[in-house]
Chains A and B, each alone.
Chain A
Amino acid sequence: MADFLTSTHRAKWVFTPQHLVEKYRAANQRARQVLEKCGATLMEIDADGSLSYPEPQIAKANVEKHSRTKPLSIDEEQCIRVFFENKIQEVCKSFHFPHKIQATALIYFKRFFLQWSVMEHQPKNIMLTCIYAACKIEENHVSAEELGKGIQQDHHMILNNEMIIYQSLEFDLIVYAPYRSVEGFINDMQWQEFCNADDDFLQMLKTLQDTARLEVDKMMLTDAPLLFPPGQLALTALHNSNALHKVIDFDSYLSSIFSRQNPVHRESEFIESLNAINSLVRKYKFPERKEQSHINRKLESCWGLSSHDESKKREKKSKHKSKKNSSEAQNAPS
């Protein structure tokens, strides 16, 4: 939709850094309490579609057996999310989905795990369901079956999780990714600022845009999409891209933008955002494999999936073969 200004995205899903930390902490805290109480944290989707934490019987056994099960720290949760956010980009690329779908799926995934801890819902299932939902919302429908087939997963798991995702997203399903804003700024540069453009210049703008897209790809893997509106992300990406290619005089372009805007946004404020976004990208780190598998083991034991007989019981109960699937994905090298 055209109007970001009146969107739920702007009204509800752009946070301050403090607020974001609080939300991560709250989800982590809740999972910790469940672990203490029930011995395991993974929520199950029942036949009737409702969700529940592990039953007391199982929980009891778990408490005794795994009394030393440790919850994930907030940083460790972050590692798990980072891993699966990369997976989203991979899966979308392998299906040749447009960038818009990849970005929508990523934003859904990020928003979902603001509400829940990775200890409560298996991120792999959520990731696939987010991709499925993104296809549906962007009117690029792909059946759950086909999506499941393409990645050798049981598609029922996708369908089981779909409603929980919409609900956790509070049904705010229209999201604004920076890719389109990049396009918008490029058009703007072309038509309003530099209308005497020749073919060479147009080619350079194309290069500028391509590199900016890659810059956005990087931002999409950080918390930046939850902290900044898409226009600021796009402009930062173009700034970085231009620093490399030196296509336009970026400072004067910025001035021209802000002179056209009402005084709501000031250039100095944007420079602050730009620095903050770039710092998030710089600090981004993909977890090392050793660290990753250590966290995975911890996570599986939080889920209550580490012991064989326990997992068998659970497998029978839940429709999807959570244990098998999860360990496959987790151990797979990225």
Chain B
Amino acid sequence: MGDGSSNRTNSNSNKPEWLQQYDLIGKIGEGTYGLVFLARIKSQANRGKSIAIKKFKQSKDGDGVSPTAIREIMLLREITHENVVKLVNVHINHTDMSLYLAFDYAEHDLYEIIRHHRDKVNHSINQYTVKSLLWQLLNGLNYLHSNWIIHRDLKPSNILVMGDGEEHGVVKIADFGLARIYQAPLKPLSENGVVVTIWYRAPELLLGAKHYTSAVDMWAVGCIFAELLTLKPLFQGAEVKGTPNPFQLDQLDKIFKVLGHPTLDKWPSLANLPHWQQDIQHIQGHKYDNTSLCNVVHLSPKSPAYDLLSKMLEYDPRKRITAAQALEHEYFKMEPQPGRNTLVPCQPGETFVNYPTRPVDTTTDFEGTANLQPPLPVSSGAGSMPGGHGSNRTVPRPMNVVGMQRMPHQPMQAYNLASQAGMGPGMNPGGIPMQRGVPQAHQQQQLRRKDQMGMPGYPPQQKSRRI
């Protein structure tokens, strides 16, 4: 499978063999890293099974294969957990050296679920669902953290939920493009550049910490928890674009407004953070006195939910609750208890919502691979597309604010990827396509143009050094 025997390519209209395994349905997402497509498997064994294919652009600085793609692949190759997306396959398009990652498709994500409640159904998400989503998110995160992996980009759009099927309603943590192992790092983590989308970025990051820990993920979980309760982002700061460091004054201001100002008393290592020291007027000045998280999230200060939330939003990362501790919290022990299908409450009488399916832009072809099949009159997926070309033309979702693109992409259920990267016997052990002289893509250039805004978290043109 995979790129294995694409040397037979020429006999089949120049379409790489790996691509022929799929019927392309359309584009479901776009980000600085590239594009995400929905496709269906053609082969007998899994016919019709939905797959999300994430296409990575080449790294923009002309420095080889995208580190974002490499991080995602190398980490996902090593981990298996029910609440973490699982890589099904990796494909290489040799024409432009781009990578395609195939995941099982998840119909929903927290961004869409929250939006649906806010804009369409006009009532909050039921308690069972909130608690189950949170529990599974923490469960996946606890697994990652105990394997020394920090995610560094947790936000509602990266938390997927499976649609109909055996895993209906199961949470999958996705998008490992910023994730890394933090055990024994060779360089300070801050050298990876800015991490975490601004609204979910922990205060130690905003204040310029050189070293940070898995606690940054727990802050993001706290923000997501609050957003599940209130249907709007907890700290909705306006981002100043184009800065090379994670400092964002308005974001800090939004946090201070709700949580009060941090003090050296409660957070002793605050004194060492660069932006705390530098910006005395704004950061150390006490603007807000009457702050109250419980009013913002409409929780009683005595409720277990509030207790858990406030422990996730603890300023001092050393005191912040860990994923393992959070799973043991009283909140999860009282009724309603969390369940596996987060979307369908086990208790009768509770309403459950039918969430809409993900919008698909059926007019978009696999960019960069379309060029591999010039003789074909239609795009690769069009032939098999229900409704045909353009009948259901849905524009891919708008970017979600502050310049952070949604990164919808999908999860799970892997087969052994081992066999797919080639290594079959015979003359082509790398399983590397043998065809020659396929015309170069002009699509590549379009991709590059879109890619000009900096990738959050990608080392900002970091000059490499010898250490």
Contacts and interface: CB of A to CB of B under 8 A. Distances in A.
Contacts of B435: 48, 50
Given A136-B64, A172-B77, A174-B77, A141 B432 contact: no
Given A50-B434, A136-B64, A141 B464 contact: yes
Interface stretch (A96-104, A208-216, A238-246, A326-334): A96-104
Contacts of A150: 466
B348 interface: no
Contacts of A53: 427
Contact of B148 (A1, A6, A46): A1
A193 interface: no
Interface string B162-191: 000000000000000000110111110001
A275 interface: no
Contacts of B437: 46-48
What's the interface size class on A, roughly?
35 or more
Contact of A167 (B92, B418, B440, B465): B92
B95 interface: yes
Contacts of A8: 77-78, 418
B64 A132 contact: yes
Interface stretch (A157-165, A247-255, A290-298): A157-165
Contacts of B64: 132, 136, 144, 158-159, 162
A207 interface: no
B65 interface: yes
Q: Which range contains the number of B residues in contact with the other chain? A: 35 or more
A53 B432 CA distance: 12
Nearest to B93: A49
Interface string A24-54: 0011001001100000000000111111110
A52 B94 CA distance: 13
Contact of A171 (B61, B90, B186, B464): B90
Nearest to B372: A48
A2 interface: yes
Interface in B124-168: 146-149
A260 interface: no
Nearest to A94: B466
Given A7-B78, A132-B64, A174-B77, A168 B430 contact: yes
A140 B438 CA distance: 35
Interface in A10-36: 12, 26-27, 30, 33-34
A125 to B, nearest CB: 14
A65 B90 CA distance: 42
Nearest to B189: A139
A47 B422 contact: no
Contacts of B191: 139
Given A48-B436, A95-B466, A164-B432, A174 B427 contact: no
Contact of B433 (A50, A136, A162): A50
B399 interface: no
A143 interface: yes
B17 interface: no
A143 B432 contact: no
B296 interface: no
Contacts of A144: 63-64
Nearest to B63: A143
Interface in B430-452: 430-438, 440
B92 A163 contact: yes
Contacts of A27: 429
Contact of A26 (B186, B418, B425): B425
A116 interface: yes
A7 B62 CA distance: 31
B430 A164 contact: yes
Contacts of B61: 143
A139 B192 CA distance: 8
Contact of A47 (B186, B427, B440, B462): B440
Contacts of B97: 49, 163
B70 A12 contact: no
Given A136-B67, A141-B67, A34 B427 contact: yes
A310 interface: no
B467 A97 contact: yes
Which of the listed residues B61, B75, B186, B426 has the most CB atoms from chain A within 10 Å of its own CB?
Answer: B186
A66 interface: no
A319 interface: no
A170 interface: yes
A139 B195 CA distance: 14
Contact of A48 (B63, B95, B149): B95
A180 to B, nearest CB: 7
A207 to B, nearest CB: 22
Given A27-B429, A171-B421, A52 B467 contact: no
Nearest to B95: A48
Contacts of B184: 100, 180
Interface in B65-97: 65, 67, 70, 73-75, 77-78, 80, 90, 92, 94-97
Contact of A6 (B74, B80, B465): B80
B459 interface: yes
Contacts of A116: 429-430
B459 A1 contact: no
B434 A52 contact: yes
A306 B97 CA distance: 31
Contacts of A137: 70, 74
A188 interface: no
B417 interface: yes
A276 interface: no
A52 B192 CA distance: 37
A203 interface: no
Given A143-B464, A167-B431, A30 B426 contact: yes
A142 B94 CA distance: 24
A83 interface: no
B70 A166 contact: yes
Contacts of B316: none
Nearest to A98: B186
Interface in A78-95: 95
B146 A2 contact: yes
A115 interface: yes
B67 A51 contact: no
A171 B3 CA distance: 13
B378 interface: no
Contact of A2 (B77, B183, B422, B427): B183
Contacts of A75: none
B429 A167 contact: no
A167 B74 contact: no
Contacts of B402: none
A59 to B, nearest CB: 14
13 contacts: A8-B78, A48-B436, A139-B185, A139-B191, A140-B186, A142-B465, A162-B64, A163-B97, A167-B421, A168-B423, A173-B74, A174-B74, A180-B184
Given A46-B436, A163-B94, A166-B70, 6 more contacts: A26-B425, A96-B467, A137-B70, A167-B432, A170-B422, A173-B77
Interface of B: 3, 61-65, 67, 70, 73-75, 77-78, 80, 90, 92, 94-97, 146-149, 180-181, 183-187, 191-192, 417-418, 421-423, 425-438, 440, 459, 462-467
